[in-house]
């Protein structure tokens, strides 16, 4: 594998701006799912992507990871255009879709090894890497089990483990704690906070659980009806509106 100069750029410590979204729009015929979205995320930030159901959170994330093409606008990750050079971007992004993308007829170990292979984890490191991410996500004790036979919460965690493979610079997590019990939610939150502490990972996570944002993120981007309704630090936002996050959410979502 030859080293692409642009990939080297990703590792450079001088790079501050990790995610850059400009005028991102997604239109399905006459329905606009996402309208003219613009925001920036610096390296090491954990950003909560907030909004009611159907606000366009998943659509935006899908565009960021190169699964959905945008109708207009651009998105850059580590300075690389997602739509012009998707392959390079995809090598450095870990993505957890809304529904955990697992193969029911594979064991957890086989599944993680497969995702590792298509993410170009070197053959010699594959085994150890699978164990590493499984341990992080708390599924290391169920590696030999068939995914069909594990609970929804475990499937969700296998999905998280998959996103962590190859230790990506950018993590895009679509509702990472959906379907988990309170203890597991706590574990996943701690995992995200730990990843954030290292300062190497940039994380965007979507949710509509406000306590989750408060626990894990400093900054939130709130979307409603496909547009940005707020983009600020949680503390600033609360001070500005003189209200709690819950009240602001209800107000902005209804507006």
CB of 50 to other proteins, least distance (A): 22
From candidates 6, 27, 74, 91, binder to other proteins by CB under 8 A: 91
192: buried, middle or exposed (CB in 10 Å: 19+, 13-18, 0-12)?
buried
Please name the residue ranges forming H helices in the chain. 5-11, 57-64, 86-91, 108-118, 126-137, 152-164, 182-197, 210-216, 234-241, 245-254
CB of 76 to other proteins, least distance (A): 17
- Count of residues near other proteins by CB under 8 A: 29
Name the one range near other proteins by CB under 8 A: 91-99, 134-142, 198-206, 226-234: 91-99
β-strands 170-174, 93-96: how paired? parallel
Does residue 114 belong to the site contacting other proteins (CB under 8 A)? yes
Residues 142-161 that bind other proteins (CB under 8 A): 146
Does residue 33 belong to the site contacting other proteins (CB under 8 A)? no
Does residue 119 belong to the site contacting other proteins (CB under 8 A)? yes
CB of 104 to other proteins, least distance (A): 7
CB of 210 to other proteins, least distance (A): 26
Q: Which of 125, 154, 128 is nearest to 141 (CA)?
A: 154
Q: Per DSSP, what are the bridge partners of residue 17?
A: 42
Q: Which of 195, 223, 196 is nearest to 207 (CA)?
A: 223
* DSSP-assigned letter for residue 123: G
Does residue 176 belong to the site contacting other proteins (CB under 8 A)? no
From candidates 33, 34, 102, 142, binder to other proteins by CB under 8 A: 102
Tokens for 109, please give them: 């170990």
Does residue 11 belong to the site contacting other proteins (CB under 8 A)? no
Question: Among residues 114 and 218, whose Cβ is nearest to other proteins?
Answer: 114
Does residue 90 belong to the site contacting other proteins (CB under 8 A)? yes
From candidates 33, 115, 204, 248, binder to other proteins by CB under 8 A: 115
3-state DSSP: the chain helix, strand, coil percent, rounded to 5? Answer: 40, 25, 30
Helix (H, G, I), strand (E, B) or coil at 40: strand
Which residues fall within 8 angstroms of residue 99, CB to CB, at 6 or more apart?
none
* DSSP-assigned letter for residue 224: E
Name the one range near other proteins by CB under 8 A: 16-24, 102-110, 223-231, 245-253: 102-110
Question: Among residues 180 and 237, whose Cβ is nearest to other proteins?
Answer: 180
Does residue 66 belong to the site contacting other proteins (CB under 8 A)? yes
Given the rule CB under 8 A, which residues bind other proteins?
62, 65-67, 69, 86-87, 90-91, 93, 95, 97, 99-106, 110, 114-115, 117-120, 146, 162
């Amino acid at each position: 594998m030859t080293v692409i100069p642009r990939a080297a750029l990703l590792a450079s410590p001088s790079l501050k701006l990790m995610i850059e979204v400009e005028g991102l729009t997604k239109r399905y015929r006459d329905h606009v799912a996402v309208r003219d979205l613009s925001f920036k995320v610096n390296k090491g930030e954990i950003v909560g992507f907030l909004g009611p159901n159907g606000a366009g959170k998943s659509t935006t994330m899908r565009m960021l990871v190169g699964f959905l093409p945008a109708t207009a606008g651009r998105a850059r990750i580590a300075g690389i255009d997602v739509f012009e050079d998707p392959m390079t971007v995809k090598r450095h992004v870990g993505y957890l879709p809304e529904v955990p993308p697992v193969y029911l007829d594979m064991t957890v170990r086989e599944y993680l090894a497969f995702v590792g292979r298509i993410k170009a984890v070197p053959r010699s490191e594959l085994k150890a890497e699978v164990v590493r991410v499984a341990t992080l996500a708390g599924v290391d004790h169920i590696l030999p089990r068939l995914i069909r036979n594990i609970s929804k919460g475990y499937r969700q965690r296998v999905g998280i483990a998959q996103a962590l493979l190859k230790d990506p610079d950018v993590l895009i997590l679509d509702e990472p704690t959906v379907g988990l019990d309170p203890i597991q939610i706590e574990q996943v939150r701690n995992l995200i906070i730990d990843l954030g502490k290292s300062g190497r990972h940039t994380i965007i996570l979507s949710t509509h659980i406000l306590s989750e944002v408060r626990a894990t993120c400093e900054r939130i981007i709130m979307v409603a009806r496909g547009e940005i309704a707020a983009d600020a630090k949680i503390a600033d936002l609360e001070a500005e509106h003189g209200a709690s996050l819950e009240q602001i959410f209800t107000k902005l979502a209804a507006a």
